[in-house]
Each structure stands twice: as C-alpha cells, then as structure tokens.
C-alpha cells in the first residue's frame, strides 16, 4: 500500500490557494435562499425582474455563490463558476416560474440532486 499523504496534501493546498484567490481577487455574486429549498429540493436562479434581465442574465461576476439558509443560519454555500451555472440553468429554462415581490421576477428552478449528478457535470 502506497502512502499518498504528500500527494493528497499538495492537492488540497492547491485548492485552498484557489479559494483564497477567488475570495480576494475575483468578482463574486452572492445570492441567499431561505428555507424553501429544504421543502422543494430546488434552488431558484433569477434571470429577470420587472420585465428586464437580472440576476444570472446580467451578472459580470466570474463566480456565483448560492447560500442556502435555514432560518437565520447558513446551512451551506455553493460556489459555481458562473458560466457553468448558466449552462445548467439553460437546461431548465422551459420550467421557469414567476416569484419574488408581487411575482415580478422570473426564476429557473434547479433540482439540487441534479446539480451534482454525473450528467450535469
């Protein structure tokens, strides 16, 4: 049996550096979703508000952070390259829904289980 600790450590350190670089040097869009994701198993990605492109449709951020909150506590934070999240969202465009204040926004619902399946990746 080969001890791969040094290889695994190096791999992890590269990822740690990458996250630090993203947080310090790259543009990030942060959206928080409260509670309903637990019931539906979906996250909602806004692309239009009041008849105008918004959210993922207009962001200039390289990275998108989707915070899943449980009441006042953050449950987890999903970090996506924005271009990859857009690709996933386009697959669900036909299932867009209205929501938000007075139902004036449009969202694509992305099933959490689908985000992590092999076909999506």
HSE (CB half, 13 Å, CA atoms) of 72? 0
Is the confidence at residue 120, as pLDDT, over 90? no
Domain count, the chain: 1
| Any domain includes 4 | no
Instruction: Compute the distance between CA of residue 13 and CA of residue 42 in angstroms, rounded to an integer.
Output: 32
Output 2 or 116, whichever has higher pLDDT. 116
Write the DSSP assignment of 17-32 as a string of letters: HHHHHHHHHS-EEEEE
Residue 120 lies inside a defined structural domain of this protein: no
CA 22 to chain centre: 15
65 located within any domain: yes
Classify residue 108: in a domain, yes or no.
yes
pLDDT score of 56 = 97
pLDDT band at 45 (very low <50, low <70, confident <90, very high): very high
Determine the average pLDDT of the residues in 31-41.
94
98 lies in some domain: yes
Asked if residue 11 belongs to a domain, the reply is no
Q: Is residue 34 part of a domain?
A: yes
Work out the percent of the chain whose per-residue pLDDT is above 70. Answer: 98
Q: Could you report the per-residue pLDDT of 93-111, keeping only the tens digit for each?
A: 998 999 988 999 999 999 9
- Determine, yes or no, domain membership for 39: yes
Domain range for residue 105? 27-115
């Amino acid at each position: 049996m080969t001890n791969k600790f040094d290889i695994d450590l190096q791999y992890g350190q590269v990822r740690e550096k990458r996250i630090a670089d993203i947080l310090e040097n790259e543009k990030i869009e942060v959206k928080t979703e409260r509670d309903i994701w637990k019931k539906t198993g979906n996250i909602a990605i806004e692309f239009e508000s009041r008849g105008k492109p918004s959210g993922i449709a207009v962001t200039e951020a390289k990275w998108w952070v989707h915070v899943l909150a449980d009441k006042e506590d953050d449950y987890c934070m999903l970090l996506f390259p924005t271009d990859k999240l857009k690709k996933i969202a386009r697959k669900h465009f036909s299932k867009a829904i209205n929501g938000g204040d007075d139902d004036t926004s449009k969202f694509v619902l992305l099933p959490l289980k689908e985000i992590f399946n092999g076909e999506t990746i």
